[in-house]
Amino acid sequence: MPDSKIEIKVTTDVDQQDVHIDSMSIDAAKSFSIILDSLVRIVENTPGCENAKIKVIDGSAAAVIEAPTDTIQMLYQGFEDTRMHKCENREVVSSYSSFQKLFKANGLGYTADFYIDLERISILNTIKDSRQFRTKSQKTVSDTSIKFFQTQLIEVGGKYPNIHFLGENEEKITASCSQNDAIRAKEFLYTDIKLSVWKTEKEGKRAVYECCDIYRNAQAFEEISSFIESIEEKSDIDLLMDLHKEIKSRLLIGDAISLRRIARIMRIYSHDSTDLNKLKTILLVTKSFKEREEIAQHWQWLNKLYNKSYKKL
């Protein structure tokens, strides 16, 4: 007998009688087939388990996975991850979730054990008492990010307006822009320009750049770029709170310069790719200022984007 295995057994039937594989009630047979199917799916979807053997034990209704100890340990890790809601593998989670439904339903009796080097670890009560298993919630990472450049502008124009400037490694970057941006950019031709662009990278495709804003004021550029770069590294809730506090501190000053600075922050987020939560946070904090002419237009843009993504939910 190998030292390591997983064994899940239907022990007793609804009438408390022992279950035998050669003569099962419909309830017991259903449960047994779910157990066998789930074990197969766990093995199939855990990489590195190709050498595992699945077997049914004569007599009792037990389904078993036999494998070398390190393989069983790997499967045990998969169970632990599922229990902690950290497992990202849908198939594995849904298999354990099937066990959970069976064990929680009244009627049949079960045992569920890992044996690692002869040591028995029962997982029956752990599964029963846990909250419903589900996959780790994955943050959807946007393909688009904001980039700030202080660089040389080498060309402006085109039928579809665009600007050409040098990237970090002196490579030429072309960004699409509005006619207005093109006109504003023109005064910086062959000199230094400070700008922000949305960069969209899709797998297997060349990056696409769209002009976001052009800064004439060096201090505005410095403040906005360092603020945005600092918060974009934070986790979601902290990021939102910092975004709120930054805007609020300027609202409390309340003069035209402060509001125009807020408008430029709003402009950074006026893009289809912006996360709903950032839009909502900005809209809420500026709600009672939405009629102020410095930000009114930006507020409407962001509100439109917000409503668009809310409706998709």
Partner 1 sequence: MLSIENISQNLIKSDEDNSGEDFVAAAVLVTEGGEAVHAGILIKYNDEYSLFHFSPPLELEILPAGQWYFHKNFNFIKPEEIPSFLAHCKLIKEFANPQYGYYFAGSYFAEGQYFSEIPTPQYMTCVGFCLNVLNGFNLDEQYISFDEWNIGTVEQRYIDRIIERFRRDIPQISIDLLIENIRRITPTEYLASAYIDEIPVKKKKIDRILVNVSHAIYNKTNP
Assess 138 for contact with partner 1 (CB under 8 A). Answer: no
Distance (Å, rounded) from C-alpha 174 to C-alpha 96? 50
Residue 188 CB neighbour total at 10 angstroms: 19
Give whichever of 69 and 277 is closer to partner 1, judged by the CB atom: 277
Assess 132 for contact with partner 1 (CB under 8 A). Answer: yes
Distance (Å, rounded) from C-alpha 275 to C-alpha 65? 44
Assess 134 for contact with partner 1 (CB under 8 A). Answer: yes
- 296-312 vs 256-268: helix crossing angle, rounded to 10: 30
Residue 175 CB neighbour total at 10 angstroms: 22
Sole residue written with tokens 């950032």: 278
Give whichever of 110 and 306 is closer to partner 1, judged by the CB atom: 306
Output the smallest distance, CB 239 to partner 1, in A.
8
Assess 106 for contact with partner 1 (CB under 8 A). Answer: no
Q: Are β-strands 172-176 and 208-215 bridged in parallel, bridged antiparallel, or unpaired?
A: parallel
- Of these, 59, 141, 237, 291, which contacts partner 1 (CB under 8 A)? 237
Assess 276 for contact with partner 1 (CB under 8 A). Answer: yes
Tokens of 106: 């009244």
Assess 131 for contact with partner 1 (CB under 8 A). Answer: yes
Residue 301 carries which side chain, given as an amino acid letter?
A: W
Output the smallest distance, CB 145 to partner 1, in A.
18
Assess 137 for contact with partner 1 (CB under 8 A). Answer: yes
User: Which part of the chain contacts partner 1 (CB under 8 A), choosing from 10-18, 31-39, 167-175, 243-251?
Assistant: 243-251
200-223 b/e with 16+ CB inside 10 Å = b? beeeeeeebbbbbbbbeeeebbeb
Assess 281 for contact with partner 1 (CB under 8 A). Answer: yes
Assess 236 for contact with partner 1 (CB under 8 A). Answer: yes
Assess 90 for contact with partner 1 (CB under 8 A). Answer: no
User: Which part of the chain contacts partner 1 (CB under 8 A), choosing from 43-51, 109-117, 132-140, 162-170?
Assistant: 132-140
Residues 13-72 within binding reach of partner 1 (CB under 8 A): none
Enumerate long-range contacts of 305-308, CB under 8 Å, 24 or more apart: 305/270, 305/271, 305/272, 305/274, 305/279, 306/276, 306/279, 306/280
Output the smallest distance, CB 240 to partner 1, in A.
4
- Of these, 11, 60, 144, 303, which contacts partner 1 (CB under 8 A)? 303
> Are the CB atoms for 61 and 19 separated by under 8 Å?
yes
Assess 251 for contact with partner 1 (CB under 8 A). Answer: yes
- Of these, 53, 55, 216, 287, which contacts partner 1 (CB under 8 A)? 287
Distance (Å, rounded) from C-alpha 99 to C-alpha 49? 20
Assess 89 for contact with partner 1 (CB under 8 A). Answer: no
User: Which part of the chain contacts partner 1 (CB under 8 A), choosing from 12-20, 70-78, 160-168, 278-286?
Assistant: 278-286
Assess 283 for contact with partner 1 (CB under 8 A). Answer: yes
CA-based torsion, 265, 270, 271, 275: positive or negative: positive
> Are the CB atoms for 56 and 20 separated by under 8 Å?
no
Kindly determine how many residues on this chain lie close enough to bind partner 1 according to the rule CB under 8 A: 27
Q: Which residues are at the interface with partner 1 (CB under 8 A)? A: 85, 131-132, 134, 137, 236-237, 240-241, 244-245, 248, 251, 276-278, 280-281, 283-285, 287-288, 303, 306, 310, 313
